[in-house]
Chain A
Amino acid sequence: MSAAPESRVRSAIPAQTLPQAVDGGQADSRPIKLKATGIDFFYGAFQALHDVSIDFFENRITALIGPSGCGKSTFIRNLNRINETIRGARCEGEILLDGENIRDIDVTQLRRRVGMVFQRPNPFPKSIFDNVAYGVKVNGLARGKRAIEEKVENSLRRAALWDEVNDKLHKSAYALSGGQQQRLCIARALAVDPHVLLLDEPCSALDPIATGKIEDLLFTLKDQCTMVIVTHNMQQAARVSDYTGFFLLGKLIEFNKTGVIFRTPAQKETEDYITGRFG
């Protein structure tokens, strides 16, 4: 209450050693796309995140792992300010997108630049075409029927879905399988040309084959945007990501290159979790 809005309320507990994405002192060659510093997050009186700081590098995939309820989803939901729509939610700390505080960016602009894919496929009850076209239309990114059609086709191609749906674009999105629906949601997010794509456990409702397709897709999208993927599946994190952050009880325990986290974790908790001794 009394704290000025710009002041970052730090937890009194000394922060654990938080290596800022260093691997033997070597920083990434890519610039920092998204920088979160000292994030505390509250649902009403309950503090869900404690002083979390992470740098996300451009065109890299960062995986956030940890047990259920550790705050990893809560964390990425702050990156596009979607948590603000929850009553009683409060986020403290600073998040910079390309060096600009996301609180100073118009929220609709921010969310266009920072797209999101959700845990369960959530297409709109509309046709496949209208699902993808929605973001384009609402942001006015393309004018005229032809331009929108092009945008939709392009997005579906980028999401590796075009070949499966090009003959039924005006069918209901609900006629697709779960995996296809999730790729449709990715296409829908890609249609507004986001710089950052947040994926909140995008494969948790999918079978292994559909999961494989989504993972392949993430690789092809890497040169187009920066991705943050929340997953409870450690193999998935190891397969797809360049960086991995491990969350436990609302704290970021460790953050480093994926290889380091999985081979030589610095923290005992991380090691216990990735070796399955967590409990």
Chain B
Amino acid sequence: MSAPASIGVPARKREGVFLQRLKGGDPVAHAIAWLAAASVLLLTVLLVAELWSQSATARHAFGFGFLWSTDWDPNARKFGALPFIYGTLVTSALALLISVPLGVGAAVFLSELARPKVSVVLTFLVELLAAVPSVIFGLLAIFTLVPLVRDVIGPALDKISDVFPFFAGPAYGVGLLTAGIILAVMTFPFVISISREALLAVPREQREAALSLGATKWEATWDAVIPFARLGILGSIFLSLARALGETMAVTMVIGNDPKIASSLLAPGYTIASVIANEFTEATGDLHLSSLILLLLALFLITIVINAGARLLILATTRQGSAK
């Protein structure tokens, strides 16, 4: 409106300089960005404070012993976290053991080997898979995976249980293995999708450097492309791990919900997220409720420890020489 007037009228401009600069936005943008950043910290602090205060009853009753006590009997007012921690860690580890090699392999195929059209279609499907709600995976697992583990995989694994004792025992269908497999299916798209992005970001020259030295296609991929993308691939693994640790619905539906530490992967188990989902609404008394919240705090701690570990791992591997 006043644009033509302001041309060549510096005096007038100077009057409004503060307002103009403010409109220009730097201080405003600064303040907004600062607030946004501060809210992250605020949320984290609030979360921990809330978990800490709500779990006071259980902390006073059990102390650190809560973490390694194996009893969970609400009727006897005995609460211990170990079976849940065990179940959470075992199912997550199983999930990654399956989904990482498969996912990275698929990502290599999509980014390096597949024809562009195939790659586009498959990538679309993978991203679709990542958006499927977990309850659907849970149902899928109940209808297909549980019978499969009970009737086929379980008996087959039982035969090699002399060599691998963690496959011993009867298969009920529901159990740690089934939960691990369904978690693997759920984390698989994450590994593929993020690893693929990381692999695509590797400069052409890296692959060509290896090829020009006489490396085969496979050697160039394995020695030059994948190491260059390793930070992204590690990132995909940790994101998957985070999802596996916290996944509730699908796991609750197939893990068997039995707070025992079983040596066999075919036996039922329980995870932290599952027990909270199952018992929170019908907790019998303050101690029970408080114990569940303390479990949450434990899950939070596990996540922090694992993330810190991931950071250290990345630091350690980057020091050797990294693409940054």
Q: Which residues of A come within 8 Å of B, CB atoms?
A: 80, 82, 85, 87, 108-109, 111-112, 115-116, 118-120, 122-127, 130, 134-135, 138-139, 171-175, 185, 188-189, 192
In the assembly, what is the distance between CA of A172 and CA of B206, in Å?
15
* Given the contacts A85-B207, A85-B208, A134-B223, A126 and B213 also touching, CB distance less than 8 Å: no
In the assembly, what is the distance between CA of A119 and CA of B204, in Å?
12
Is A174 touching B116 in the complex (CB atoms < 8 A)? no
Q: Give B148 Cβ to nearest chain A Cβ, in Å.
A: 40
Interface size for chain B: under 10, 10 to 19, 20 to 34, or 35 or more residues? 20 to 34
Query: Does B8 touch A at the CB level, under 8 Å?
Result: no
Is A124 touching B224 in the complex (CB atoms < 8 A)? yes
* Interface-located stretch among B78-86, B99-107, B244-252, B315-323: B315-323
Task: Digitize B284-321: 1 where CB-to-A-CB distance is under 8 Å, 0 elsewhere.
Answer: 00000000000000000000000000000000000111
CB neighbours (8 Å) of A85 from chain B are 207-208, 211, 217
Q: Which of B115, B227, B322 is A174 in contact with, Cβ under 8 Å?
A: B322
Is A122 touching B209 in the complex (CB atoms < 8 A)? yes
CB neighbours (8 Å) of A124 from chain B are 206, 209-210, 223-224, 227-228
Q: Which of A87, A115, A171 is B321 in contact with, Cβ under 8 Å?
A: A171
In the assembly, what is the distance between CA of A130 and CA of B223, in Å?
11
Q: Give A76 Cβ to nearest chain B Cβ, in Å.
A: 11
The B222-242 residues at the A interface (CB cut-off 8 A) are: 223-224, 227-228
Q: Give A97 Cβ to nearest chain B Cβ, in Å.
A: 14
CB neighbours (8 Å) of B210 from chain A are 124, 134, 138
Task: Digitize B115-142: 1 where CB-to-A-CB distance is under 8 Å, 0 elsewhere.
Answer: 1100000000000000000000000000
CB neighbours (8 Å) of A174 from chain B are 321-324
CB neighbours (8 Å) of B206 from chain A are 122, 124
Query: Does B157 touch A at the CB level, under 8 Å?
Result: no
Is A125 touching B208 in the complex (CB atoms < 8 A)? no
Query: Does B89 touch A at the CB level, under 8 Å?
Result: no
Q: Give A3 Cβ to nearest chain B Cβ, in Å.
A: 24
Q: Which of A119, A122, A135, A171 is B214 in contact with, Cβ under 8 Å?
A: A135
CB neighbours (8 Å) of A109 from chain B are 214
Is B212 touching A138 in the complex (CB atoms < 8 A)? no
Q: Give B324 Cβ to nearest chain A Cβ, in Å.
A: 7
CB neighbours (8 Å) of A130 from chain B are 321
Task: Digitize B252-280: 1 where CB-to-A-CB distance is under 8 Å, 0 elsewhere.
Answer: 00000000000000000000000000000
Report the nearest B residue to A113, measured CB to CB.
B214
Is A126 touching B227 in the complex (CB atoms < 8 A)? yes
In the assembly, what is the distance between CA of A87 and CA of B115, in Å?
9
Is B209 touching A82 in the complex (CB atoms < 8 A)? no
Query: Does B205 touch A at the CB level, under 8 Å?
Result: yes
Is B214 touching A126 in the complex (CB atoms < 8 A)? no
Closest 10 CB pairs of A and B: A172-B321, A112-B214, A135-B213, A122-B205, A116-B212, A125-B323, A108-B214, A111-B214, A122-B209, A139-B214
Is A111 touching B213 in the complex (CB atoms < 8 A)? yes
Query: Does B93 touch A at the CB level, under 8 Å?
Result: no
* Given the contacts A174-B321, A174-B323, A192-B214, A87 and B205 also touching, CB distance less than 8 Å: no
Q: Which of B115, B207, B215, B319 is A108 in contact with, Cβ under 8 Å?
A: B215
CB neighbours (8 Å) of A87 from chain B are 115-116
CB neighbours (8 Å) of B227 from chain A are 124-126
Most B CB within 10 A of own CB, among A130, A135, A175: A135
Most B CB within 10 A of own CB, among A115, A126, A174: A126
* Given the contacts A124-B227, A125-B323, A171-B321, A82 and B213 also touching, CB distance less than 8 Å: no
Query: Does B151 touch A at the CB level, under 8 Å?
Result: no
Q: Give A51 Cβ to nearest chain B Cβ, in Å.
A: 26
Is B213 touching A192 in the complex (CB atoms < 8 A)? yes
Q: Give B72 Cβ to nearest chain A Cβ, in Å.
A: 47
In the assembly, what is the distance between CA of A80 and CA of B219, in Å?
17
CB neighbours (8 Å) of B207 from chain A are 85
CB neighbours (8 Å) of B27 from chain A are none
* Given the contacts A111-B214, A125-B322, A172-B322, A118 and B209 also touching, CB distance less than 8 Å: yes
Q: Give A123 Cβ to nearest chain B Cβ, in Å.
A: 8
Q: Which of A115, A122, A138 is B215 in contact with, Cβ under 8 Å?
A: A138
Q: Give A74 Cβ to nearest chain B Cβ, in Å.
A: 14
Q: List 16 A-B contacts (CB under 8 A).
A: A108-B215, A111-B211, A111-B212, A115-B213, A118-B205, A122-B205, A124-B209, A124-B210, A125-B228, A125-B323, A135-B213, A138-B214, A138-B223, A172-B319, A185-B209, A189-B213
